[in-house]
Amino acid sequence: MSDHPPHAPESEEGASPARWRRGDPRLLARTRILDLQAVPFIHPRRGVARDFVVVAAPDWVNVLAHTVDDRLVLVNQFRFGIDGFSLEIPGGVIEPGEDPVAAGVRELAEETGFVGERARLLARVHPNPAFMANRCHLVLVENCRLTAAPEWDADEEIVVSAPPVAEVFARARAGEITHSLVLDALFFFEPIWRAGASRSAV
Amino acid sequence: MSDHPPHAPESEEGASPARWRRGDPRLLARTRILDLQAVPFIHPRRGVARDFVVVAAPDWVNVLAHTVDDRLVLVNQFRFGIDGFSLEIPGGVIEPGEDPVAAGVRELAEETGFVGERARLLARVHPNPAFMANRCHLVLVENCRLTAAPEWDADEEIVVSAPPVAEVFARARAGEITHSLVLDALFFFEPIWRAGASRSAV
d(CA A197, CA A179): 26
Query: Cβ separation of A180 and B184 shorter than 8 Å?
Result: yes
Give residue A200's pLDDT: 73
Residue in chain A lying closest to B177 (CA)? A125
Task: Say if residue B65's pLDDT is above 70.
Answer: yes
pLDDT tens profile A9-60: 333 444 478 999 999 999 999 999 999 999 999 999 888 999 999 999 999 9
Query: Cβ separation of B180 and A17 shorter than 8 Å?
Result: no
pLDDT tens profile A112-158: 999 999 999 999 999 999 999 999 999 999 999 999 888 887 777 89
Of A32, A79, A186, the CB nearest to B187: A186
Q: Where are the domains of chain B?
A: 1-56, 60-201
Are A135 and A62 in contact by the 8 Å Cβ rule? The answer is no
Residue in chain A lying closest to B92 (CA)? A130
- Its CATH architecture, for the domain A60-201, is Alpha-Beta Complex (3.90)
pLDDT tens profile B14-51: 447 899 999 999 999 999 999 999 999 999 988 899 99
Is residue A77 very low, low, confident or very high in pLDDT (cuts 50, 70, 90)? very high
Query: Cβ separation of B159 and A15 shorter than 8 Å?
Result: yes
Give pTM, 2 decimals.
0.91
Helix (H) or strand (E) holding A32, with range, is: none
Buried residues in A42-54 as b, exposed as e (16+ CB within 10 A):
ebeeeeeeebbbb
Is residue B151 very low, low, confident or very high in pLDDT (cuts 50, 70, 90)? confident
Instruction: Provide the edge-to-edge strand list for the sheet that holds B91-93.
Output: B91-93, B60-67, B136-146, B114-125
